[in-house]
Structure formats: structure tokens, C-alpha cells
Structure 1
Amino acid sequence: MSYEHTSKAPTSKNGKTKKPVSCVKRFRYITRTKEYANHKDHAEKVEFVKSGNMPSFAENRPDLFWEAAELYERKNGRTATSIVLALPKELTPEQRIELTEKIIEQFCNKFNFPYTAAIHNHKSAISGQDQPHLHLMFSERALDEFDRTAEQFFKRYNDKNPENGGARKVTADFRGDGTDLVDQLRAEAEVLINESLEEYAPTKIMMIKGIEVEVPSVVSCLNHRDYNKLHGTDLKAVPMIPKSLLHLDPNLTFDDDEKNREYQQKLAEREALIQKVQEIRDHNNMELYCQYYYAALQKQNEAKKQQQQDIERVSASDLAYRLDLITYQATADKVKQIRQLAALQDDKNINYIEAIEHKASLLNDVLMKENRKEVSALVNEIYKHDLETIQQHCDGRSMSYDEKRISERLNERISTIEHILDRSTRTEQKVENTRNDDDYSNDFRL
């Protein structure tokens, strides 16, 4: 937030005296009226304009108030106080207007200050994102119950007979804020902005090291040094790029070679500064949101791992197809139904448990008719696959009654088949060893 005064007093800088800053021109600039109606910056949009607490001579004509301030305010006196405040781009235009009304209430209506406010929005020359901001100018001469002419309004205040003097100036010193005023205003703006963000946009998406990270939408009025002291971070100051460089046209060329070289040097300087700003912003974002970045990184890695597992995992249809290849014609009808159910069980529009349960019953029938080791092994693999499917469906929640029931049945069948397969394997090994003994015996007899 910037805070400054317009005054009838000339300013001096580097030994040069400048004309006083005009509150009338400031008013016309922020409202885009008179000479600023066709301002060269067409890319900047005026989203909202409002004036309030105007005395009777300027009712519905705030331009008359600011013209009177410049004309009748005492010599070297302040004609207006101006604030420029960045507004959150995460809020909609309507929500920004609502926030602005609250800021006006806090900064102006509280003291009956005549004011003019305008919300401007333009695209960032660096990121291309919206840059909404509030222009708020107000007079410290508070409106009271006395009706005054334009000339009288800006005269010295008469403490004994207020109706005979000008409007009282409710300055920071008069309010007791003194030198802490700017910090106080920034702190008050921080509270109001964060309240709006909490209500309408509690989080925002940021790109950090190539990853979209959801982080809290919170602003701070502290500068980077004070923020670092309070939170132990290592934020760096972001340099300001001069407008003369920022708004250069990269397609502009000159007939003069020397001018072209100078212009290209400026463009190179501009790009170097933009890159530096982006690097510092990336650094600061990492400092502010590192915990959210690492959480998002872990989530991304887990998603990639799961995706790879899904790719590598054999589908229910593939297993059913393999069963079709090794079974006999006698069970063809049942295997056909198994293949149909395998294709259906991944359909989100059907009850997958019913498909698995029906399939398990058919698999049991096939197993009973074709009591062969290769068929048993494949049926066992299908049972395990379906059990894993149920567990994946229940990830993060408790199993339903039907899911528990079919899971128990599948576990029992898996245990039975593995017991039979293990017994069959031991028998085969025993027979094989016997044959070897006989061969040795025969060799010995020879």
C-alpha cells in the first residue's frame, strides 16, 4: 500500500522544484474523466467508481469538491490524501467492490471524510495475471452538520463558532495516530482483506517448481525484513522494474542503427530484470509455502506410482480371457459368463460386488468340473485379483457388510486352493524323488 498527500506546496527533488501535485488531476485520473477519458493505457479497466460524504455544494458532483479543494485550500495546505492498495486477484469484481466498501467505511466514513474511490485492473507485464488495485483519495476536512459554501468549507476551523469557520481537519495527529498512521492503515487493510479472502477464496493455486500447489490465501502488511524476523523465513526484496523498461515494445525498430542497438540493449536489460524478479518470486514462494509444496509433491509422486501400478496390474478381463484359453468345452458357457462379469466389474454404473460374487460362484463351478492344477492356479489368481479390487474400492473407508462377506469367502477359497496346490506340489516332488531312487537302483543292478 502506498500513502501520499497532494498539496498546494511545490516539491523539491535533486535541487529541482516541481509544481504541486494536483488533486483535480488525481481525481480525473482515477475516475478516467476529462483529459483522462481516453487514457493511453487502454488495457487498464476501471471496475468501480464511487464518491461519498460530499458537502452540499458538491452533492452528486465530486469533481466540484476537488476543484474547490485546489482553489480554496490554504497556501501550502494538503488538498487530499491518496492511498493505492493492491486487491486480491482471487476475488471476483463484485467481491472486490464489497471489500472496497469495507475499506471506505474504515478509512473514510468513520471520520466523515469526503472521498472518491476507484478500482483499476490491468494485466501484469511480467506474469500476465490480473493486477486489481484500489485508488482512494479523501480530504481530512470532516463533514459535519453545518452547511458551508465551497470557499468557506476550506477555511480555517473556528473552534468557538464552528458554523462560521471551515470544516475541521481530522489529521493523524488530531486522532492520536501520529507517525504510526501508515503502519496502522496497512494493518487495518490486512485484516479486512484477509477476512474477505477467508470468506470467498480461502485458498489459491500457485505454480511452484512446476507443480500446482494449493496454499492459503493470506496477505501480510509486513515488509520482507520484518516478516523474516517474525517467521524465520529468508524472503528477498523484489526489485521494481522502471515503467520505461517494462512497457518497451519488443517489435519496435528504428531506421538508425545506433538507435536500434541502444533499444536492443534496453530490451536485454528489461529481460534480465524480469528474469531476476521471477527468480526472486519463485524463491519467496518456496520460502512461504514449502510445506504445501512438499505435500503436493508427495501426492503427485503417489499418484504417478498408483498410475504405474494400474498400468502394470493385470485386468480382470485379461485373467478371464486366460481362463477361457485353458478350459475345456464343457465349461465354455460358464467361462463366457465369467468374461462378461469381468468386463462389467470395472463399470462404475453397476454394483461391482454383485459382479464379483456371481463370478466367484461360476469360478467354483469351473474348478469342480476341471480339477486341474493349471486351472486351480489361475482361478486362485482371479480370486486374489478380486480381493485386491475390493480393498482398493474401500481405500480410506470401512467395508460394507457385502464387501466384508465376499472378502471372507474369497479368503477362504484362496486358502483352500493354496493348501491343495501345496499338497499337490509336495506329492509330485515325492514321486519325482522315488523315480530317481529307482533309477539309481536299476543302475546299481546293472
Structure 2
Amino acid sequence: MASQHFSVKNGKIGRGQKHASYIAGQGRYAEKADVIFVADVNMPSWARDGADFFGVADRMERDNGRTYTEFEFAIPREIVDPIAYAKEFAVETLASNHPYRLAVHDKQASDGGRNVHAHLMFTERKLDGINRDADQFFRRANSKSPHKGGAAKDRKWHEKHMVENMRKTYSIFAKLHGVDLDLRSNLAKGLGEAEPKIGPVHGRTEKNSNRSNLVSKVENLRNNRMDDGGGDVLDNKLRHELEKHSKERRKQLWMTFHKQRSDNYLRLTEELKVSYSYQKQKIELIKSTYVKRRSDIKNNPGLKYVERRAAISIANMERITQELEVKAEFEAIRDVIKIEQKEHYFEKYRLFLEGYAKQGDEVAKAEVMRLVKNRPKLNLEQNSILTTGSINKLNPAAFNLKFEINRGGLVTYKIRGVDVIKDTGKQVDLLKTDALTVEAALKLAQAKFGNKLTLSGPREFQERAALVAAQKGLRVEFTDHSINQLMNKYKGELEMQRHLEMVEKHLLRAGKQLKTTDAIGQSTQVVIRQNVHLRNDQKYLLNNFEISFNDAKRVAESYGFEFIKPGNSSYSGTVIEITAHHAVQYLGRNRVVIHELAKINGDQSLIKGAKVEVSYVNQKPIIKIGQSHKPNTR
């Protein structure tokens, strides 16, 4: 059953900063363990955060004035993502009209379940687009010359039926999320007198003489409700005792799970500290060994220049391989801790309860059924990228793609005249799964949702997204731990591939392709062959690179163009084709240049039809993208 709670509170001067720190778990309240989310929204530029803003309000508001108004509301247990739910209600209620601090708390309820609730703390002063400093912001408003006075207070928060109206608004909001709430008073519901609030037990409760009277009053009200409920009084009391036992058991189960989770987190944190110290020492040893080896090679007078370059490249490759192995061990532990910190622990709690349910615990069985019933249903067939947090405002014109916006606000992006991506607001749906579409969708989702993304759809699509993110060097992170591991694996293999190609290039110049020489020992040859074999297994063959280059040449020849290799110069023109590893750029006068995509920075990209300027400095390309344009080929 959903918790029926929505209260409105006001704070006088001197209480704003203290209460803002309390709900956020800051300062003297830093030990509060129930704060799971804090956000400061619409804050003026002079305020560092919400606590600083309301601290200034304490000093600058008039005597006996309000520094804040607060909505404290319970988030129903049926809501799967309470943070997103609270953020949505805050935006619908205050929009961009008032500076506010939103905090979500999650703690143990008296019945053993979760008591998730939110504090929405805001100033009644309304933002009007005028930039004011801290001193002017809290002055009396000037209706004739608003820029000379302070921010005006919104009088609707003082209306007679404001509390009643806000409770109705919150009930409607909850109903839109599938939860029915009745926030009327007990008398309005015909339930009689409401139970007085007793409060939690602490060190001062023994000195409170009124507490025992309140406890007695609550017990009398509950007994009267049981007597008036009809049926046998003994049956009512027995049912009451069973409910009381269930509450205690739920509380016990939750506390046991929470302790196990805390102990596991502390253990992993300690392992991370030890692993970090070990990683640092190991990498320092690997680097010092590499520096000594490189110095010995440079000072070897018996080696030719190309032989020396090849030997140094091989030593650097071995260093990278060893460092990747050490870092992989550290990343594995850190990834587990990230999951412990950020993963939705409701699923873990369900697995924990299932263990007790198999042993015949009826309360655990009931809790499992409740969690399963409220689990969200995802569309496993739709290829989508979902948000895990806030949504940033985005101008579709910022992307170099054609788009259409329908009346409902849905944005459809096109590539080569074909619909490929739909932006529905809370998720990005992919209509195609080719590499170019996946890359564009990942960049769009990254701009809207941040670097933390959730993938929905078949496993094949998710693995393709991991591969594209690795190939394009996108700085994204996926909520699925296995997809993250796969992306990091691809990144390591691509880095190794590029380094092996550089080694082979030096060896080819020296005319010593993995032959026994004084500069290249037998053990080093084994390492190279093992890495080349690994690259073959993962289908990162040099042949694929040559096939891509040949495809690019074939495109140039089909138009009758002459192709050139890029040097330390600038090339301006339109990209007419993208192959697996190359881009073909038309320069005019029947000439094209072929660029290697692997050398391009992850924040830059070449898209077919884009007019770009590519400048090479020390063989590294720098790209300036202009307007899309179709070349005048034939």
C-alpha cells in the first residue's frame, strides 16, 4: 500500500542553511546514511550550492520573513525509480521559476519496508530573467522598475487552499505513474481522529512525560478501530498480532540485507586500496624497466637507425601489454565497487529474499511477490539507449544530421534520406543498427543523458554498440557490467593492433620481418607472434585494413579520380565515401585523398557528405567540419 503523506512546511530566517544541510547530509549532518540523491536547480550564479543560497537568504531576508517553503512527500513503494519520480515532480511543480534543492532519502520504515521520501525546498522569490547579485536578489520588489528591485515573491504560495491544492496535484501526479493516493484528512475520509505523531526513540524520549500519553492514545485509537471493524474482536486482535509480526520480520530481513551489503562494500573498498597500491608499484617497476631497456638500445652502437627504432617499438609494446594486464586486475575490482555503489539494489534484495523464501519464510515470499509485481517491463526487441539520470536540453540542429520534429515533440533523424534514429525524450530509439547509425545514436544519447548510458535490445545490438564506442573512442560508460568489460576489451585490442602495425612498419623498413637479429631476441619474437595470433583470432587482421584501403581506391577509380596519400599539409573538400578503416575526400580537379580513420581523435568524426578541412601536423590530423555538401563528381 502506498504511503499517504504530503506536507508543506515553512522556514523562518536563521533556519534555511541548517535545514538545507540537513536534507542533503552536509556539514554537521554528513553522517546521515539515508540520503541517496541531492540536486540544486535554478541557482543564481553567486550561489555555490543550495546551502550557500539559503544561508544568504537567512542573512538578507527581512525580519520574520520566510527563507524557504518545503514540500515533504512520500514516494510510493510501487515506484521503481524514486529519484527520477521526484525530479519529474519537482520540474512540473517549480519548472525554472524558483531556485530549489531536491533531496531524496531512503531509510527503514517501521513496517520493515522502505521509507523513500523527498524534500523539495525552494524560495518563494520568482526568477524573472534579470541578473541580480546576492544583495539585490532579496530586496523588496519594484513593480514599476523590476531591474532596480529584488526578485518578487510568488503570492500563490500564500493562498488559503494552497496545501489542499498541492495535495490534489500530487495525487494526480502519482496516478499518472500508476499509484492511487487519497491525501484527504482522516476526518474527510470518515476514518475518525488521526493518530498523533510520536516520533523516533532516542536519548531524550525518557524525559518526555507526554510521550507515554501519546503512545496510550495511539493504542486506544487502534483498539477502537478494531472493535468497530465488525466480526469477532478476538479475530481482529489475532489479525493485528499477525500484522505486527510481519512488520517485525520485514524489518529484520531488511536490516540483515543492509548489513551484508555494507560489509561487502567495506571489504571491496579495502581490496581496492590494496590493489591500487600494488598497481602503482607494479607500473612504476614496468616503466623503470622499459626506460633502462630503451636507454641500452639507444646507446648500442652496433644497431642501425631502423633496427633501433624497431627494438624500441617492441620494448614499448611489451610495456603496454604488461601495464594493461596490471590495470585490468585493478579495473575488475573497481567495476565491482561501482556496481555496489550505483546498481539498483532492489534486484539484489529480491535475490536475498528468494533465499529465505526457499526455506519456507512466508514473509519473504510475500515480499518477493511484491517486488516481482512492481518490476518494470522493458521492450527487449527495441534497440534503444536509455537515461540513468537527468536529461539535458538539446538542439537537434547541433548535429550534422537532417531531422524532422512532429507535433508531439518527437525528433526523427535521417542519414542519406532514411529514418535511422528517433528521440522520444527519455530514450533514443535506433531504427537501423549499422556502425554509422550506432555512432550517431551514442553521441546523441551522450549529449542528452551524459556519459552513463543504459542499452535496451538484443545482445547482438549491445555488443555492436560496445564495438563502435571502442572504435570511435567515445567516452561513455554502460550500466551493464559485461558490456563495459567488452568495450574495454575492444579498446585494448585496438590499441594493441595500432602498436603492432607500427612495429611491423619499422620491421618492414629494416627488411627484418620477425627474423633473428641481435636487436630482436627470441623471446621478443614469441611475444609479437602471440599478439599477432591474438589479433587474428579477433579478426583484426592487417588484411582488413588493406581491403578497406583497396575499397577506397576503387571508389576513386570508379569516378576516374587520382588518389594521393596525405602528408603534412591541409586538405579541404567533401567526404564522398567511408569504408571500414578509411575516408575518401574529394579535393577538386579530379583528385581525392584517403584518410585513415584510426588516426582521428574520438571527439572528431568524418561523415559522408560533410565538407571538412583536414590538416596534418606530424602525421596527426586536425579536422574542421563545415556545412554538408554534395561534390560535383560526374
- Which of the two has greater helix per residue? 1
- Which of the two has greater strand per residue? 2
TM-score by length of 1: 0.45
Higher RCO (CA-CA < 8 Å; seq separation 6+): 1
